[in-house]
Structure 1
Amino acid sequence: MRRVCLTLPTHRACTGTITAIADEAAYGAREFGSEIHLLILDSSPAPVLAEHRKAVAALPASPGVTVHHLDEDEQRAFLREVLDRSGEASASASADRLLELMLPSRVSYGACTNRAFLIAQALGCTSVHRRDSDSRYQYVDGEPVFPLHQELTYLGQRAEDVRNSATRSKLPPGSGERRVAVAGGSFVGEMSVDVAEIRDQDPGTYDDLVGLSLPGGYPEIWRRHLIDASFRGAGAGTFDGDRTALAPISPTQVDMCNVGFDHEVYSRVPLPPARDTIGTDYFLLHLVHNARLPGLQHNRHIVNFHTQERRTDTGFLAYQVRFAKFLLATAYLNTVYARTTAAGDTLLDDEGHIRASVVAGFVRDSVDLDRTEVVRRLDVIDGAYRRLGGRYTRVADTIAERRPRLLDEARDDMADFAHLMDHWEALTRASAGTGPAGIR
């Protein structure tokens, strides 16, 4: 029986999402005969965690579905066992660093998904399917539209075998024998990044900020198009029937709240464990696209919304700083993406699997990037927030106070990523060796 992991990482209240994702898990087990492991990785404060415990306890039993709700102590215990089994514990400094990269004290979108990857390995799952706490499902005729349907239909299948079942196919020549590495859709509703107010208040400043996320070298007409499309997902449309495309998927067309990865991808390469930084968890989407691995893009889009916490003064400041850090991180990431794009399918070995050592080398080389561009970006960010004024002035002041630290962290995050990549395959093998008994 096919075993898959449907995961919900969270650090905030989301009892409604827990109930909804459990329904998706039941759907997957019922319709596909799969064994679904619903994995909730919970970093919420104690009162919220307690509410989540109640919500999980109230879930009805569902054939083929096993629910794992792990708080940070339970996740840490699993990671320590993996480190012990991998041999990293014999070097305590290395083990401590890896544990911090896997379970940091600060928010990390990549690290929480990396933990899901390792736990999925222990559970014997062949794929990981991620959802987020600030998302809901679309409904048609009173029934939810579950992305898991398309993910389970295509993920891990030989591309040539499913070519005719897709609405359209644009597979690169010679890639029909490769397996579908990623399946995903986008979102409808509010922008994925909370910058709509900036766009409405000052379009020019919005262009300056969002433009920093793009690689250089685009003609102005394409640059304008990419800025307009950024963070907007599938817009305001509604689901009106399935449409699928079998091809290497552009990372701009898929959201990390609506994605599934085959284990042949995440068992070799993790996500960047950058802290307090949005967007870096899209690394694998860039990698599989640039390696020209088959992907499945569908239109079962998630409904995105912004939680109330993000609208508080504290939440607003934290999120804007994470956005600024992302714009600094892209200076490094874009150098890696340029090299993986140039490498194309030479990133793959003879069996069509990603050559992790090559990717790690690109990441390690990026650490030595001349800081001139990163400093320029920070100047643009500071000036943009000061022009916006009002509550954005506090963001600018915070960025100015943290300036040396932000510059160091942008570089150090890439060094940490390279370090994690060096040990990742040992960790995934050790995770598989722990088996389900290692998850308490």
Structure 2
Amino acid sequence: MDRICLTLPTNRECTATLTALGEEAAYAADHFGVEVDLLILDSAAAPDRARHARAAHAAAGEHVTVHHLDEAAQRDFLRRVIDRAGLPKPELMLDLMLPERLSYGACTNRAFLLAAALGCRSVHRRDSDSRYRTHHGEPVYPIHHELLSLGKRARDAADAVTENSLDAHHADKPVVMAGASFVGELSVDIGEIRAAAPDIYRDIVGLWAPENWSAEEKRELADISFLGAGTDPFTGDHSTLTLVDPMHVDMCNIGFHRIQEDVPLPPATDTIGSDYFLFHLARSATLPGVLHNRHIVNYYTGERRTDAGFLAYQTRFVKFLLSMLHLHHLYDRMAHAGPALLDGDDRVRAADIALFARESAHLDPAENLRRLTVLDRSYRRLGGRYAAFADRLATQRARLLDEARRDIEDFALLTEAWQRLITASAATAVHPAARRPDRGRR
């Protein structure tokens, strides 16, 4: 029986979400005959973790096994994996996998290694600040489409989708990704700017684009960014076998097969969007995916409305914009390489990705200095707490530029070590007292 990993990383109270996640796990087991490892990576405060543990373990069943790991348990597992892998600078590697500061990429990378340890053939990720849509009063679970297609050869997956837009020469490649988007609030918490000052919003969001794009192209990008799948209600399933456009999927609603064992996500700290890299890699490498319409509802937690939450989130957004200097270089190099990124077994050549990342670390930071200038001007025009944030930003320019460069160097380093970490994880028990079951990954 195939094993899958349904995972949710969290640093906040999300008991209701965990209960719903458990119901999705039961749906997967009941409808697809799989063993589900329900993996909760919990960095929340102790009282919240206790509530999470009760909610998660209530989901355990004959074919659903719950793994609720706090940071101490995650760190113990990572130390054993890194030791087994025999990597140089083990403490640095541990910091890249479990940094003290928030990292969207690192928390998902931990899920990838734990899924390998559990012998899972696919990883399905959800977020704590989201919930499922309903149809005729019943939840609409994304895992339905993920399990219909992930891991199959594209030619075999074609029977399970509504339409197939994939070129025939990709038919023997595996489906490595299945996902959808979200509805509800913007995926990036800048809706207040969008509503109050659309022109400033376009100036800021346009910084996401490559600098050589025209003003019109940047405006068009700003007008479609972070909106998700609109507001139409779910009325029925639709899915497409394709090379998935990264703009149409979200990390709260994604399943991966195999590609997550080839290349990790950038472990950048305090940087939104650092966990989206595999979307771009799958498309550039011409690996098939399925795009479906079981979107998830995104909402904001109260913490973002506090002063501390506002400052933290705006900093993460600025770091996201600065990361684009380096990531656009990677995207361009990957797009140029195309199917040459794959070896004879359709596995990604991780050494190429690491090389591109190291190249990008040497780019002239002048482009990012210009980004910071636009941000300073824009935030000051907004006034109020945005102007106060601009004052704070002005004192951090050198640090932020340096962190953007170091983040991409860290990604290169982790990519070079990733296969050894995956191999070591597959031979390591998640819980040290437990004997690892004799089951292979598929």
Report the TM-score, using the length of structure 1 for normalisation: 0.96
Q: Which residue of 2 aligns with 1:63?
A: 62
Q: How far 1:30 moved relative to its partner?
A: 0.4
Q: Tell me how far apart the structure 1 counterparts of residues 118 and 433 of structure 2 sit (CA, whole Å).
A: 8
Find the residue that maps to 1:386 and give its secondary structure.
Answer: helix
Find the residue that maps to 2:38 and give its secondary structure.
Answer: strand
Find the residue that maps to 2:145 and give its secondary structure.
Answer: helix
Find the residue that maps to 2:267 and give its secondary structure.
Answer: coil
Q: Tell me how far apart the structure 1 counterparts of residues 395 and 407 of structure 2 sit (CA, whole Å).
A: 19
Q: Which residue of 2 aligns with 1:196?
A: 191
Q: Is 1:400 aligned to 2:394, yes or no? A: yes
Give a deviation string over 1:91-139, Cα, whole Å, max 9, x none: 4xx1000000000001000000000000000000011100000000001
> Which ranges in structure 2 are unaligned for 5 or more consecutive residues?
435-442
CA contact (8 A) 1:122 1:435 kept: yes
Q: Is 1:274 aligned to 2:268, yes or no? A: yes
Equivalent AA in structure 1 for residue 348 of structure 2:
I
Equivalent AA in structure 2 for residue 156 of structure 1:
G
Q: Percent identity?
A: 55
Q: How far 1:435 moved relative to its partner?
A: 3.8
Q: Which residue of 1 aligns with 2:427?
A: 433
Give a deviation string over 1:325-356, Cα, whole Å, max 9, x none: 10000111011101101111111111111111
Q: Pairwise mapping of residues 278-297 of structure 1 onto structure 2 (< 5 A)?
A: 278-297=272-291
Give a deviation string over 1:245-275, Cα, whole Å, max 9, x none: 111101110000000010x211110000000
Equivalent AA in structure 1 for residue 319 of structure 2:
K
Q: Tell me how far apart the structure 1 counterparts of residues 26 and 59 of structure 2 sit (CA, whole Å).
A: 10
CA contact (8 A) 2:7 2:38 kept: yes
Find the residue that maps to 2:68 and give its secondary structure.
Answer: strand
Q: How far 1:316 moved relative to its partner?
A: 1.1
CA contact (8 A) 2:262 2:419 kept: yes
Q: Which residue of 2 aligns with 1:18?
A: 18
Find the residue that maps to 2:275 and give its secondary structure.
Answer: helix
Q: Which residue of 1 aligns with 2:134?
A: 139
CA contact (8 A) 1:78 1:439 kept: no
Q: Pairwise mapping of residues 90-239 of structure 1 onto structure 2 (< 5 A)?
A: 91=88, 94-218=89-213, 222-239=217-234
Q: How far 1:225 moved relative to its partner?
A: 3.0
Q: Tell me how far apart the structure 2 counterparts of residues 22 and 133 of structure 1 sit (CA, whole Å).
A: 13
Q: Tell me how far apart the structure 2 counterparts of residues 60 and 36 of structure 1 sit (CA, whole Å).
A: 11
Q: How far 1:164 moved relative to its partner?
A: 3.5
Moved more, 23-32 or 346-355: 346-355
Q: Tell me how far apart the structure 1 counterparts of residues 154 and 387 of structure 2 sit (CA, whole Å).
A: 51
Q: Which residue of 1 aligns with 2:31?
A: 31
> Which ranges in structure 1 are unaligned for 5 or more consecutive residues?
none
CA contact (8 A) 2:130 2:299 kept: yes
Q: Tell me how far apart the structure 1 counterparts of residues 433 and 131 of structure 2 sit (CA, whole Å).
A: 28
CA contact (8 A) 1:119 1:439 kept: no
Q: Is 1:416 aligned to 2:415, yes or no? A: no
Find the residue that maps to 2:7 and give its secondary structure.
Answer: strand
Q: Pairwise mapping of residues 241-252 of structure 1 onto structure 2 (< 5 A)?
A: 241-252=236-247
Q: How far 1:228 moved relative to its partner?
A: 1.1
Two-structure CA RMSD over aligned residues (Å): 1.4
Find the residue that maps to 1:434 and give its secondary structure.
Answer: coil
Q: Tell me how far apart the structure 1 counterparts of residues 167 and 407 of structure 2 sit (CA, whole Å).
A: 33
Pair 1:170–1:60, CA change in 2 (3 A)? closer
Find the residue that maps to 2:39 and give its secondary structure.
Answer: strand
Moved more, 117-126 or 383-392: 383-392
Pair 1:105–1:219, CA change in 2 (3 A)? same
Q: Pairwise mapping of residues 72-87 of structure 1 onto structure 2 (< 5 A)?
A: 72-87=71-86
Q: Is 1:373 aligned to 2:363, yes or no? A: no
Find the residue that maps to 1:183 and give its secondary structure.
Answer: strand
Q: Is 1:388 aligned to 2:382, yes or no? A: yes
Equivalent AA in structure 1 for residue 376 of structure 2:
D
Give a deviation string over 1:158-207, Cα, whole Å, max 9, x none: 00112243212121341100000100000000110011110111111111
Q: Tell me how far apart the structure 1 counterparts of residues 269 and 397 of structure 2 sit (CA, whole Å).
A: 16
Q: How far 1:306 moved relative to its partner?
A: 0.4
Equivalent AA in structure 2 for residue 430 of structure 1:
A
Q: Which residue of 2 aligns with 1:354?
A: 348
Find the residue that maps to 2:178 and give its secondary structure.
Answer: strand
Find the residue that maps to 1:260 and give its secondary structure.
Answer: strand
Equivalent AA in structure 2 for residue 194 of structure 1:
D
Q: Tell me how far apart the structure 1 counterparts of residues 431 and 386 of structure 2 sit (CA, whole Å).
A: 49
Question: Which of 312, 317, 338 is residue 344 of structure 1 equivalent to?
Answer: 338
CA contact (8 A) 1:111 1:274 kept: yes
Q: Tell me how far apart the structure 2 counterparts of residues 213 and 53 of structure 1 sit (CA, whole Å).
A: 38
Q: Tell me how far apart the structure 1 counterparts of residues 37 and 433 of structure 2 sit (CA, whole Å).
A: 12
Q: Tell me how far apart the structure 2 counterparts of residues 55 and 353 of structure 1 sit (CA, whole Å).
A: 37
- Runs of 4+ aligned residues of structure 1 deviating over 6 Å after TM superposition are none
